[in-house]
Amino acid sequence: MSQSTEPMSQPTEVSEEILTDHNYDGIMEYDNPTPGWWHLIWFGSIVWSILYLMVYHFAPIIPTPQEKHAMMTRDAQLRKYGEIAAIPLSDEKMLMLMNDEDWQADGAKLYTTWCASCHGARGEGFQGPNMTDDHYKNIKKLTDFVDVIKYGAAGGLMPPQEQVLSDSKISVVAAYMASLRGKNLESSRPAEGEIIPPWPTASGSPTDSPADSTP
């Protein structure tokens, strides 16, 4: 077999201007720097990571969406309860709260959180007295609900709530508890206390029956 007589191609000479002075066992390195845009991305990511670390871990000045929602809810509650804070405690104030659906909804939430464990989920009585009949131990008039909730009763069996609830919230939950009267739910506790006169109406006269005051 004949061998090719064509001369072997010679290695292409490379200009020294595009080579570095690095020599690894005869292997030269091209002087091919990383593009400028790559450096911008690299240094930008470093700056971003530092800012992220500072803002979210060491100086949380930017609230999370959950924190924003909590702050908005808290501010709305403060404004809402501020509306009734300036109203003096009276039968008229209690009746207004008892006949307002929004305040009754707030009162139900407060009752579930602070009162249901003793008075039952629906006010039917459990460790504490039944709030749905006409018998009351420490209540003679509507505003007495506020005093009992705020200062407690029965030698501490009914603990005071003035340290955990604002006056406005006490008024709201008191109005809700007063509105339970007349439902006469079945209870595991016997009737306690005395039967008292019906709640007054907005005009100042008593209702015909306790059940009529239920919103």
Count the alpha carbons within 13 Å of 154 in the hemisphere toward its beta carbon. Answer: 13
Tens of pLDDT along the chain (215 residues) come to 555 555 555 555 555 567 777 777 777 777 777 888 999 999 999 999 998 888 777 766 667 778 888 888 888 888 889 889 989 999 999 999 999 999 999 999 999 999 999 999 999 999 999 999 999 999 999 999 999 999 999 888 899 999 999 999 999 999 999 999 999 999 999 999 999 999 998 654 444 444 443 33
Q: Dihedral through CA 16, CA 17, CA 22, CA 25, nearest 10?
A: -20
What was the pLDDT predicted at 2?
A: 52
**DSSP code of 69?**
H
Query: Which of helix, strand or coil describes residue 133?
Result: coil
Q: Whose structure tokens read 């207004």?
A: 96
Domain-wise residue ranges, the chain: 89-213
Q: For residue 72, how many C-alpha atoms fall within 13 Å in the half-sphere facing its CB?
A: 7
Residue pair 50/36 in contact (Cβ under 8 Å)? The answer is no
SS3 194: strand
Give the pLDDT of residue 214: 35
Q: Looking at domain 89-213, does it have CATH number 1.10.760.10?
A: yes
The dihedral sign for the CA sequence 113, 118, 120, 124: negative
The total of other beta-carbon atoms located within 10 Å of residue 98's CB is: 25
Name the one residue in this structure whose structure tokens are 């929602």: 69
Q: The tokens of 190 are what? A: 């016997």
Separation CA 177–CA 104 (nearest Å) = 9
